[in-house]
Chain A
Protein backbone atom coordinates (compact mmCIF):
# COMPACT_ATOMS: atom_id res chain seq x y z
CA UNK A 1 0.00 0.00 0.00
CA UNK A 2 2.74 2.38 0.99
CA UNK A 3 6.31 1.94 -0.06
CA UNK A 4 9.15 4.23 0.93
CA UNK A 5 12.69 3.87 -0.30
CA UNK A 6 15.68 5.91 0.75
CA UNK A 7 13.56 8.94 1.52
CA UNK A 8 15.31 12.14 2.63
CA UNK A 9 14.13 15.67 3.17
CA UNK A 10 16.40 18.59 3.85
CA UNK A 11 15.36 22.08 4.83
CA UNK A 12 18.44 24.10 4.08
CA UNK A 13 21.21 22.52 6.10
CA UNK A 14 18.85 20.73 8.40
CA UNK A 15 18.06 17.13 7.56
CA UNK A 16 14.55 16.41 8.80
CA UNK A 17 14.27 12.94 7.32
CA UNK A 18 17.40 10.97 6.62
CA UNK A 19 17.30 8.07 4.20
CA UNK A 20 14.38 6.10 5.56
CA UNK A 21 12.80 3.05 3.97
CA UNK A 22 9.76 1.07 5.03
CA UNK A 23 6.58 -0.42 3.71
CA UNK A 24 3.08 -0.66 4.96
CA UNK A 25 0.83 -3.43 3.74
CA UNK A 26 -2.86 -3.21 3.09
CA UNK A 27 -4.97 -3.40 6.24
CA UNK A 28 -2.17 -2.61 8.65
CA UNK A 29 -2.23 0.01 11.36
CA UNK A 30 1.27 1.35 11.68
CA UNK A 31 2.43 3.79 14.30
CA UNK A 32 5.18 6.33 13.86
CA UNK A 33 6.72 6.82 17.21
CA UNK A 34 9.23 9.47 18.05
CA UNK A 35 9.87 12.58 20.10
CA UNK A 36 8.95 16.00 18.76
CA UNK A 37 11.12 16.99 15.85
CA UNK A 38 12.02 13.42 14.95
CA UNK A 39 10.71 13.77 11.42
CA UNK A 40 7.25 12.22 11.78
CA UNK A 41 5.31 15.15 10.41
CA UNK A 42 7.74 15.68 7.55
CA UNK A 43 7.42 12.03 6.53
CA UNK A 44 3.64 12.23 6.64
CA UNK A 45 3.62 15.42 4.62
CA UNK A 46 5.72 13.72 1.97
CA UNK A 47 3.39 10.71 1.93
CA UNK A 48 0.38 12.97 1.51
CA UNK A 49 2.36 14.75 -1.24
CA UNK A 50 2.13 18.13 0.46
CA UNK A 51 5.89 18.50 0.15
CA UNK A 52 8.31 16.68 -2.12
CA UNK A 53 11.27 14.69 -0.85
CA UNK A 54 14.81 15.91 -1.47
CA UNK A 55 15.79 12.43 -2.55
CA UNK A 56 14.39 8.94 -2.50
CA UNK A 57 11.06 7.54 -3.56
CA UNK A 58 7.70 7.09 -1.97
CA UNK A 59 4.60 5.55 -3.46
CA UNK A 60 1.14 5.35 -2.00
CA UNK A 61 -1.43 2.95 -3.42
CA UNK A 62 0.98 2.24 -6.26
CA UNK A 63 1.35 5.90 -7.28
CA UNK A 64 4.44 8.01 -6.90
CA UNK A 65 3.89 10.91 -4.50
CA UNK A 66 5.71 13.38 -6.72
CA UNK A 67 4.79 12.37 -10.24
CA UNK A 68 1.24 11.19 -9.57
CA UNK A 69 0.37 13.38 -6.66
CA UNK A 70 -3.28 13.82 -7.68
CA UNK A 71 -3.84 10.07 -7.77
CA UNK A 72 -2.16 9.74 -4.39
CA UNK A 73 -4.28 12.49 -2.89
CA UNK A 74 -7.48 10.85 -4.14
CA UNK A 75 -6.58 7.74 -2.18
CA UNK A 76 -5.59 9.21 1.14
CA UNK A 77 -7.36 10.84 4.02
CA UNK A 78 -4.88 13.10 5.74
CA UNK A 79 -5.33 14.80 9.07
CA UNK A 80 -2.58 17.32 9.86
CA UNK A 81 -1.42 17.76 13.41
CA UNK A 82 -2.98 21.16 14.04
CA UNK A 83 -6.18 20.27 12.11
CA UNK A 84 -6.60 23.67 10.47
CA UNK A 85 -10.10 24.70 9.40
CA UNK A 86 -11.90 27.53 7.72
CA UNK A 87 -13.29 28.75 11.00
CA UNK A 88 -16.14 30.77 9.51
CA UNK A 89 -17.84 27.70 8.02
CA UNK A 90 -20.42 25.46 9.63
CA UNK A 91 -19.45 21.84 10.21
CA UNK A 92 -21.91 20.44 7.69
CA UNK A 93 -21.01 23.06 5.09
CA UNK A 94 -17.35 22.27 5.55
CA UNK A 95 -17.87 18.53 5.13
CA UNK A 96 -19.96 19.12 2.04
CA UNK A 97 -17.24 21.40 0.63
CA UNK A 98 -14.56 18.83 1.34
CA UNK A 99 -16.66 16.01 -0.12
CA UNK A 100 -17.10 17.97 -3.36
CA UNK A 101 -13.41 18.77 -3.48
CA UNK A 102 -12.50 15.15 -2.95
CA UNK A 103 -14.75 14.06 -5.78
CA UNK A 104 -17.58 12.37 -3.89
CA UNK A 105 -20.39 12.00 -6.41
CA UNK A 106 -23.37 14.28 -5.94
CA UNK A 107 -25.74 11.37 -5.28
CA UNK A 108 -23.60 9.88 -2.54
CA UNK A 109 -22.61 13.11 -0.87
CA UNK A 110 -25.53 13.35 1.53
CA UNK A 111 -25.12 9.70 2.52
CA UNK A 112 -21.39 10.04 3.08
CA UNK A 113 -21.84 13.13 5.24
CA UNK A 114 -24.52 11.37 7.29
CA UNK A 115 -22.28 8.32 7.57
CA UNK A 116 -19.18 10.15 8.79
CA UNK A 117 -21.25 12.35 11.11
CA UNK A 118 -22.61 9.21 12.69
CA UNK A 119 -19.27 7.49 12.88
CA UNK A 120 -17.30 10.42 14.26
CA UNK A 121 -20.19 11.51 16.52
CA UNK A 122 -20.51 15.01 15.17
CA UNK A 123 -24.28 14.89 14.65
CA UNK A 124 -25.07 17.03 17.69
CA UNK A 125 -22.94 19.98 16.55
CA UNK A 126 -23.08 19.67 12.78
CA UNK A 127 -24.74 23.08 12.44
CA UNK A 128 -22.26 24.89 14.63
CA UNK A 129 -19.63 27.25 13.29
CA UNK A 130 -16.25 25.53 13.31
CA UNK A 131 -14.58 28.46 15.06
CA UNK A 132 -16.81 27.81 18.08
CA UNK A 133 -15.96 24.13 18.49
CA UNK A 134 -13.89 22.66 21.29
CA UNK A 135 -10.62 20.94 20.59
CA UNK A 136 -12.18 17.50 20.88
CA UNK A 137 -14.98 18.41 18.51
CA UNK A 138 -12.53 19.83 15.98
CA UNK A 139 -10.60 16.61 16.19
CA UNK A 140 -13.70 14.64 15.29
CA UNK A 141 -14.49 16.93 12.37
CA UNK A 142 -10.90 16.47 11.20
CA UNK A 143 -11.31 12.71 11.25
CA UNK A 144 -14.69 12.96 9.51
CA UNK A 145 -13.04 15.04 6.79
CA UNK A 146 -10.25 12.49 6.45
CA UNK A 147 -12.67 9.62 5.81
CA UNK A 148 -15.39 11.48 3.91
CA UNK A 149 -14.36 10.11 0.51
CA UNK A 150 -13.77 6.64 1.92
CA UNK A 151 -10.06 6.53 1.09
CA UNK A 152 -8.23 3.23 1.42
CA UNK A 153 -5.38 4.92 3.31
CA UNK A 154 -5.54 7.17 6.34
CA UNK A 155 -2.60 9.32 7.42
CA UNK A 156 -3.18 10.80 10.85
CA UNK A 157 -0.64 13.12 12.42
CA UNK A 158 -0.85 13.01 16.22
CA UNK A 159 -4.57 12.23 16.28
CA UNK A 160 -4.88 12.34 20.07
CA UNK A 161 -2.71 15.30 20.94
CA UNK A 162 -4.34 17.98 23.08
CA UNK A 163 -7.38 15.92 24.01
CA UNK A 164 -8.62 15.10 27.47
CA UNK A 165 -8.38 11.46 28.63
CA UNK A 166 -12.00 10.72 27.84
CA UNK A 167 -11.70 12.10 24.32
CA UNK A 168 -8.42 10.27 23.82
CA UNK A 169 -10.16 7.02 24.63
CA UNK A 170 -12.99 7.75 22.20
CA UNK A 171 -10.62 8.77 19.43
CA UNK A 172 -8.57 5.63 19.89
CA UNK A 173 -11.67 3.48 19.69
CA UNK A 174 -12.68 5.25 16.51
CA UNK A 175 -9.26 4.78 14.93
CA UNK A 176 -9.29 1.14 15.88
CA UNK A 177 -12.65 0.77 14.16
CA UNK A 178 -11.44 2.59 11.08
CA UNK A 179 -8.44 0.29 11.00
CA UNK A 180 -10.75 -2.59 10.16
CA UNK A 181 -11.32 -1.34 6.64
CA UNK A 182 -8.56 1.22 6.11
CA UNK A 183 -4.81 1.10 6.05
CA UNK A 184 -3.74 3.53 8.75
CA UNK A 185 -0.50 5.35 9.47
CA UNK A 186 -0.55 7.43 12.59
CA UNK A 187 2.08 9.28 14.51
CA UNK A 188 2.32 9.72 18.24
CA UNK A 189 4.79 10.21 20.99
CA UNK A 190 2.77 8.26 23.50
CA UNK A 191 4.07 4.74 23.80
CA UNK A 192 1.01 2.94 25.21
CA UNK A 193 -1.09 4.36 22.40
CA UNK A 194 0.93 2.42 19.88
CA UNK A 195 0.41 -0.73 21.89
CA UNK A 196 -3.32 -0.19 21.92
CA UNK A 197 -3.75 0.64 18.26
CA UNK A 198 -0.96 -0.57 16.06
CA UNK A 199 0.17 -3.83 14.59
CA UNK A 200 3.57 -2.43 13.98
CA UNK A 201 5.73 0.44 15.18
CA UNK A 202 8.28 2.48 13.32
CA UNK A 203 10.45 4.38 15.75
CA UNK A 204 11.95 7.51 14.29
CA UNK A 205 14.80 9.28 15.93
CA UNK A 206 16.61 12.29 14.49
CA UNK A 207 15.15 11.65 11.06
CA UNK A 208 16.16 8.02 10.92
CA UNK A 209 14.36 4.79 11.57
CA UNK A 210 15.73 3.55 14.84
CA UNK A 211 13.62 0.44 15.03
CA UNK A 212 10.77 -1.17 13.15
CA UNK A 213 8.94 -4.06 14.71
CA UNK A 214 5.87 -5.15 16.60
CA UNK A 215 5.61 -3.42 19.94
CA UNK A 216 5.79 -6.64 21.98
CA UNK A 217 9.10 -7.42 20.35
CA UNK A 218 10.42 -3.98 21.16
CA UNK A 219 9.28 -3.87 24.75
CA UNK A 220 10.67 -7.25 25.64
CA UNK A 221 12.61 -6.25 28.65
CA UNK A 222 11.03 -5.50 31.93
CA UNK A 223 12.01 -4.07 35.24
CA UNK A 224 11.00 -4.62 38.82
CA UNK A 225 11.55 -2.04 41.47
CA UNK A 226 11.60 -2.87 45.19
CA UNK A 227 12.43 -0.84 48.26
CA UNK A 228 13.72 -2.96 51.11
CA UNK A 229 15.77 -2.68 54.27
CA UNK A 230 18.62 -5.07 54.80
CA UNK A 231 22.30 -5.64 54.12
CA UNK A 232 22.77 -4.52 50.55
CA UNK A 233 25.42 -7.01 49.51
CA UNK A 234 23.23 -9.91 50.65
CA UNK A 235 20.27 -8.49 48.84
CA UNK A 236 22.21 -8.03 45.65
CA UNK A 237 23.60 -11.54 45.67
CA UNK A 238 20.32 -13.21 46.54
CA UNK A 239 18.36 -11.42 43.89
CA UNK A 240 20.94 -12.06 41.22
CA UNK A 241 20.44 -15.78 41.68
CA UNK A 242 16.89 -15.65 40.44
CA UNK A 243 16.51 -16.99 36.93
CA UNK A 244 16.32 -14.48 34.07
CA UNK A 245 17.63 -11.62 36.13
CA UNK A 246 20.05 -9.66 34.03
CA UNK A 247 21.24 -7.09 36.49
CA UNK A 248 20.53 -5.65 39.90
CA UNK A 249 21.29 -2.03 40.62
CA UNK A 250 20.50 0.07 43.66
CA UNK A 251 20.58 3.43 45.32
CA UNK A 252 20.21 3.99 49.04
CA UNK A 253 17.99 6.40 50.85
CA UNK A 254 18.78 6.29 54.60
CA UNK A 255 18.11 2.70 55.56
CA UNK A 256 16.17 1.94 52.43
CA UNK A 257 17.69 0.33 49.40
CA UNK A 258 15.92 1.22 46.21
CA UNK A 259 16.64 -1.71 43.97
CA UNK A 260 16.03 -2.09 40.27
CA UNK A 261 15.99 -5.59 38.83
CA UNK A 262 16.35 -5.85 35.08
CA UNK A 263 15.12 -8.95 33.31
CA UNK A 264 16.53 -10.46 30.16
CA UNK A 265 13.19 -11.89 29.07
CA UNK A 266 9.59 -11.20 29.69
CA UNK A 267 8.84 -13.54 32.53
CA UNK A 268 6.96 -13.06 35.72
CA UNK A 269 9.44 -13.42 38.56
CA UNK A 270 7.53 -11.45 41.14
CA UNK A 271 6.77 -14.51 43.22
CA UNK A 272 10.40 -15.55 43.42
CA UNK A 273 11.45 -12.05 44.40
CA UNK A 274 8.81 -11.95 47.09
CA UNK A 275 9.85 -15.34 48.46
CA UNK A 276 13.49 -14.32 48.68
CA UNK A 277 12.53 -11.21 50.58
CA UNK A 278 10.37 -13.18 53.00
CA UNK A 279 13.01 -15.88 53.54
CA UNK A 280 15.51 -13.25 54.57
CA UNK A 281 12.99 -11.29 56.62
CA UNK A 282 13.88 -8.02 54.97
CA UNK A 283 11.47 -5.19 55.48
CA UNK A 284 9.69 -4.11 52.32
CA UNK A 285 7.76 -0.92 51.61
CA UNK A 286 7.36 -0.86 47.85
CA UNK A 287 7.19 -3.45 45.12
CA UNK A 288 6.29 -2.60 41.53
CA UNK A 289 6.80 -3.61 37.94
CA UNK A 290 8.02 -0.70 35.89
CA UNK A 291 6.60 0.13 32.53
CA UNK A 292 9.10 0.58 29.78
CA UNK A 293 8.81 4.14 28.59
CA UNK A 294 9.57 5.60 25.23
CA UNK A 295 12.70 7.11 26.75
CA UNK A 296 13.90 3.68 27.84
CA UNK A 297 13.46 2.35 24.34
CA UNK A 298 15.27 5.30 22.90
CA UNK A 299 18.13 5.02 25.32
CA UNK A 300 18.39 1.36 24.51
CA UNK A 301 18.17 1.88 20.79
CA UNK A 302 20.64 4.72 20.65
CA UNK A 303 22.99 2.81 22.94
CA UNK A 304 22.68 -0.20 20.68
CA UNK A 305 23.36 1.91 17.62
CA UNK A 306 26.46 3.40 19.17
CA UNK A 307 27.54 -0.07 20.20
CA UNK A 308 27.23 -1.48 16.70
CA UNK A 309 28.87 1.49 15.06
CA UNK A 310 31.83 1.37 17.42
CA UNK A 311 32.03 -2.39 16.94
CA UNK A 312 31.98 -1.86 13.20
CA UNK A 313 34.75 0.71 13.37
Chain B
Protein backbone atom coordinates (compact mmCIF):
# COMPACT_ATOMS: atom_id res chain seq x y z
CA UNK B 1 0.00 0.00 0.00
CA UNK B 2 2.71 2.48 0.94
CA UNK B 3 4.43 1.67 -2.34
CA UNK B 4 1.28 2.55 -4.24
CA UNK B 5 1.08 5.91 -2.48
CA UNK B 6 4.76 6.64 -3.12
CA UNK B 7 4.44 5.75 -6.79
CA UNK B 8 1.17 7.60 -7.28
CA UNK B 9 2.60 10.75 -5.69
CA UNK B 10 5.55 10.72 -8.07
CA UNK B 11 3.25 10.12 -10.98
CA UNK B 12 0.98 13.01 -10.02
CA UNK B 13 3.96 15.30 -9.54
CA UNK B 14 5.14 14.32 -13.02
CA UNK B 15 1.71 15.26 -14.42
CA UNK B 16 1.73 18.70 -12.93
CA UNK B 17 5.36 19.35 -13.83
CA UNK B 18 4.73 18.78 -17.51
CA UNK B 19 3.43 21.54 -19.75
CA UNK B 20 1.02 19.12 -21.41
CA UNK B 21 -1.04 18.99 -18.22
CA UNK B 22 -1.81 22.68 -18.43
CA UNK B 23 -2.63 22.52 -22.12
CA UNK B 24 -5.11 19.74 -21.42
CA UNK B 25 -6.49 21.57 -18.41
CA UNK B 26 -7.06 24.79 -20.33
CA UNK B 27 -8.59 23.11 -23.37
CA UNK B 28 -10.85 20.99 -21.21
CA UNK B 29 -12.18 23.89 -19.17
CA UNK B 30 -12.68 25.95 -22.30
CA UNK B 31 -14.78 23.29 -24.01
CA UNK B 32 -16.77 22.46 -20.90
CA UNK B 33 -17.59 26.13 -20.42
CA UNK B 34 -18.60 26.41 -24.05
CA UNK B 35 -20.94 23.42 -23.81
CA UNK B 36 -22.48 24.65 -20.60
CA UNK B 37 -23.20 28.07 -22.06
CA UNK B 38 -24.63 26.45 -25.21
CA UNK B 39 -27.16 24.40 -23.27
CA UNK B 40 -27.90 27.05 -20.71
CA UNK B 41 -29.04 29.45 -23.38
CA UNK B 42 -30.23 26.99 -25.98
CA UNK B 43 -32.41 24.50 -24.12
CA UNK B 44 -34.82 24.40 -21.28
CA UNK B 45 -33.19 21.25 -19.96
CA UNK B 46 -30.01 22.68 -18.50
CA UNK B 47 -31.10 21.82 -14.99
CA UNK B 48 -30.01 18.18 -15.02
CA UNK B 49 -26.76 18.82 -16.93
CA UNK B 50 -27.71 15.70 -18.91
CA UNK B 51 -26.65 17.01 -22.30
CA UNK B 52 -23.80 19.10 -21.02
CA UNK B 53 -22.34 15.99 -19.43
CA UNK B 54 -22.80 14.07 -22.67
CA UNK B 55 -20.47 16.51 -24.40
CA UNK B 56 -18.09 16.61 -21.45
CA UNK B 57 -18.01 12.81 -21.64
CA UNK B 58 -17.05 13.02 -25.29
CA UNK B 59 -14.37 15.58 -24.49
CA UNK B 60 -13.09 13.17 -21.88
CA UNK B 61 -12.88 10.55 -24.62
CA UNK B 62 -10.58 12.87 -26.53
CA UNK B 63 -8.34 13.88 -23.62
CA UNK B 64 -8.15 10.52 -21.81
CA UNK B 65 -5.69 9.11 -24.35
CA UNK B 66 -3.49 12.16 -23.74
CA UNK B 67 -3.61 11.59 -20.01
CA UNK B 68 -2.59 7.96 -20.23
CA UNK B 69 -0.23 7.95 -23.21
CA UNK B 70 2.93 8.58 -21.22
CA UNK B 71 2.17 6.36 -18.23
CA UNK B 72 4.08 3.27 -19.34
CA UNK B 73 5.28 4.14 -22.84
CA UNK B 74 7.54 6.86 -21.45
CA UNK B 75 9.02 4.61 -18.76
CA UNK B 76 9.82 2.00 -21.35
CA UNK B 77 11.28 4.46 -23.81
CA UNK B 78 13.49 6.32 -21.35
CA UNK B 79 14.54 3.10 -19.62
CA UNK B 80 13.27 4.16 -16.20
CA UNK B 81 11.18 1.00 -16.20
CA UNK B 82 14.42 -0.84 -15.52
CA UNK B 83 15.25 1.13 -12.37
CA UNK B 84 11.61 0.99 -11.33
CA UNK B 85 11.14 -2.75 -11.75
CA UNK B 86 14.46 -3.64 -10.14
CA UNK B 87 13.26 -1.91 -6.98
CA UNK B 88 11.12 -4.12 -4.73
CA UNK B 89 7.76 -3.19 -6.24
CA UNK B 90 5.27 -5.43 -8.02
CA UNK B 91 3.69 -4.86 -11.41
CA UNK B 92 0.26 -4.70 -9.77
CA UNK B 93 1.39 -1.87 -7.49
CA UNK B 94 2.87 0.07 -10.39
CA UNK B 95 -0.24 -0.29 -12.56
CA UNK B 96 -2.64 0.61 -9.77
CA UNK B 97 -0.56 3.62 -8.74
CA UNK B 98 -0.42 4.92 -12.29
CA UNK B 99 -4.10 4.32 -12.84
CA UNK B 100 -5.04 6.09 -9.63
CA UNK B 101 -2.89 9.08 -10.46
CA UNK B 102 -4.47 9.36 -13.92
CA UNK B 103 -7.90 9.24 -12.28
CA UNK B 104 -6.92 11.90 -9.75
CA UNK B 105 -5.62 14.07 -12.56
CA UNK B 106 -8.96 13.73 -14.32
CA UNK B 107 -10.83 14.62 -11.14
CA UNK B 108 -8.67 17.74 -10.93
CA UNK B 109 -9.84 18.54 -14.46
CA UNK B 110 -13.53 18.30 -13.68
CA UNK B 111 -13.43 20.12 -10.34
CA UNK B 112 -13.78 23.53 -12.04
CA UNK B 113 -17.03 22.34 -13.68
CA UNK B 114 -18.59 22.21 -10.22
CA UNK B 115 -18.92 25.95 -10.72
CA UNK B 116 -21.74 25.22 -13.19
CA UNK B 117 -23.64 23.35 -10.51
CA UNK B 118 -23.15 26.27 -8.13
CA UNK B 119 -24.43 28.65 -10.81
CA UNK B 120 -27.48 26.48 -11.34
CA UNK B 121 -28.10 26.27 -7.62
CA UNK B 122 -28.04 30.03 -7.34
CA UNK B 123 -30.14 30.94 -10.37
CA UNK B 124 -31.78 27.74 -11.45
CA UNK B 125 -33.43 24.72 -10.06
CA UNK B 126 -31.11 21.79 -10.69
CA UNK B 127 -32.09 18.21 -10.18
CA UNK B 128 -29.27 17.39 -7.77
CA UNK B 129 -29.88 13.64 -7.93
CA UNK B 130 -29.37 13.65 -11.68
CA UNK B 131 -26.35 15.92 -11.36
CA UNK B 132 -24.66 13.62 -8.83
CA UNK B 133 -25.47 10.47 -10.77
CA UNK B 134 -24.30 12.22 -13.95
CA UNK B 135 -20.95 13.02 -12.39
CA UNK B 136 -20.72 9.45 -11.07
CA UNK B 137 -21.32 8.29 -14.63
CA UNK B 138 -18.65 10.64 -15.97
CA UNK B 139 -16.18 9.24 -13.47
CA UNK B 140 -17.09 5.62 -14.26
CA UNK B 141 -16.89 6.26 -17.99
CA UNK B 142 -13.56 8.03 -17.79
CA UNK B 143 -12.38 5.26 -15.49
CA UNK B 144 -12.94 2.89 -18.40
CA UNK B 145 -11.22 5.26 -20.85
CA UNK B 146 -8.16 5.54 -18.64
CA UNK B 147 -7.90 1.79 -18.09
CA UNK B 148 -7.93 1.22 -21.85
CA UNK B 149 -5.39 4.02 -22.24
CA UNK B 150 -2.96 2.60 -19.71
CA UNK B 151 -3.24 -0.80 -21.35
CA UNK B 152 -2.37 0.60 -24.77
CA UNK B 153 0.47 2.58 -23.20
CA UNK B 154 1.90 -0.69 -21.87
CA UNK B 155 2.08 -2.11 -25.40
CA UNK B 156 4.23 0.53 -27.05
CA UNK B 157 7.21 2.79 -26.42
CA UNK B 158 5.83 5.47 -28.71
CA UNK B 159 3.49 7.96 -27.08
CA UNK B 160 1.99 9.06 -30.38
CA UNK B 161 1.06 5.48 -31.20
CA UNK B 162 -0.40 5.14 -27.72
CA UNK B 163 -2.56 8.24 -28.03
CA UNK B 164 -3.85 7.43 -31.51
CA UNK B 165 -4.55 3.78 -30.80
CA UNK B 166 -6.32 4.56 -27.54
CA UNK B 167 -8.42 7.22 -29.22
CA UNK B 168 -9.44 4.78 -31.96
CA UNK B 169 -10.43 2.11 -29.46
CA UNK B 170 -12.43 4.57 -27.40
CA UNK B 171 -14.15 5.97 -30.45
CA UNK B 172 -15.13 2.48 -31.55
CA UNK B 173 -16.47 1.80 -28.06
CA UNK B 174 -18.50 5.01 -28.22
CA UNK B 175 -19.99 4.66 -31.70
CA UNK B 176 -20.59 0.92 -31.62
CA UNK B 177 -23.67 1.60 -29.51
CA UNK B 178 -25.06 3.71 -32.36
CA UNK B 179 -25.08 0.57 -34.51
CA UNK B 180 -27.86 -0.66 -32.30
CA UNK B 181 -30.04 2.25 -33.39
CA UNK B 182 -30.10 1.00 -36.95
CA UNK B 183 -30.97 -2.56 -36.10
CA UNK B 184 -34.36 -4.17 -35.62
CA UNK B 185 -35.45 -5.14 -32.15
CA UNK B 186 -33.66 -8.27 -31.07
CA UNK B 187 -30.54 -9.78 -29.59
CA UNK B 188 -28.09 -7.90 -31.79
CA UNK B 189 -29.60 -4.54 -31.07
CA UNK B 190 -29.38 -5.28 -27.36
CA UNK B 191 -25.85 -6.56 -27.78
CA UNK B 192 -24.51 -3.47 -29.54
CA UNK B 193 -26.30 -1.17 -27.15
CA UNK B 194 -24.86 -3.08 -24.22
CA UNK B 195 -21.22 -3.15 -25.28
CA UNK B 196 -21.11 0.52 -26.33
CA UNK B 197 -20.30 3.17 -23.74
CA UNK B 198 -23.09 5.52 -24.70
CA UNK B 199 -26.22 3.91 -23.29
CA UNK B 200 -24.61 3.13 -19.96
CA UNK B 201 -23.45 6.70 -19.65
CA UNK B 202 -26.85 8.03 -20.65
CA UNK B 203 -28.51 6.05 -17.88
CA UNK B 204 -26.28 7.78 -15.33
CA UNK B 205 -27.04 11.18 -16.79
CA UNK B 206 -30.76 10.56 -16.62
CA UNK B 207 -30.31 10.17 -12.89
CA UNK B 208 -30.22 6.43 -12.78
CA UNK B 209 -27.41 4.63 -10.97
CA UNK B 210 -28.10 1.10 -12.10
CA UNK B 211 -25.88 -1.69 -10.77
CA UNK B 212 -25.71 -3.10 -14.34
CA UNK B 213 -24.02 0.06 -15.56
CA UNK B 214 -21.68 0.20 -12.58
CA UNK B 215 -20.75 -3.46 -13.06
CA UNK B 216 -20.22 -2.80 -16.78
CA UNK B 217 -17.71 -0.05 -16.04
CA UNK B 218 -15.96 -1.78 -13.17
CA UNK B 219 -15.57 -5.03 -15.05
CA UNK B 220 -14.04 -3.22 -18.03
CA UNK B 221 -11.66 -1.34 -15.73
CA UNK B 222 -10.55 -4.48 -13.91
CA UNK B 223 -10.21 -6.35 -17.19
CA UNK B 224 -7.96 -3.75 -18.80
CA UNK B 225 -5.85 -3.21 -15.69
CA UNK B 226 -5.38 -6.96 -15.52
CA UNK B 227 -4.24 -6.99 -19.14
CA UNK B 228 -1.84 -4.13 -18.37
CA UNK B 229 -0.26 -6.07 -15.51
CA UNK B 230 0.06 -9.08 -17.79
CA UNK B 231 1.63 -7.01 -20.56
CA UNK B 232 4.19 -5.67 -18.08
CA UNK B 233 4.99 -9.12 -16.75
CA UNK B 234 5.50 -10.37 -20.28
CA UNK B 235 8.68 -8.26 -20.43
CA UNK B 236 10.41 -10.75 -18.16
CA UNK B 237 9.78 -13.75 -20.38
CA UNK B 238 10.27 -12.26 -23.78
Residues of A within 8 A of B (CB): 11, 45, 48-52, 70, 73-74, 76, 78, 80, 82-89, 97-98, 100-103, 145
Contacts and interface: CB of A to CB of B under 8 A. Distances in A.
Contacts of B185: none
B6 A73 contact: no
Interface in B65-86: 78-80, 82-83, 85-86
A101 B78 contact: no
Given A88-B14, A88-B17, A80 B6 contact: no
23 contacts: A11-B238, A45-B82, A48-B86, A49-B86, A50-B82, A51-B235, A51-B238, A73-B86, A73-B88, A74-B88, A80-B82, A82-B79, A84-B79, A85-B80, A87-B78, A97-B6, A97-B10, A100-B6, A101-B6, A101-B87, A101-B89, A102-B88, A103-B88
B211 interface: no
B7 interface: yes
Q: Is the interface of A mostly helix, strand, loop or mixed?
A: loop
B80 A86 contact: yes
B79 A80 contact: yes
Contact of A84 (B7, B82, B236, B238): B82
Nearest to A50: B86
Given A84-B80, A86-B14, A52 B236 contact: yes
Most chain B CB within 10 A, of A73, A86, A100, is at: A86
A7 B193 CA distance: 53
Nearest to B10: A97
Interface in B134-183: none
B30 interface: no
B88 A50 contact: no
Given A101-B88, A101-B89, A84 B6 contact: no
B59 interface: no
Interface string B9-35: 010011001100000000000000000
Given A48-B86, A84-B79, 4 more contacts: A84-B83, A100-B2, A101-B6, A103-B88
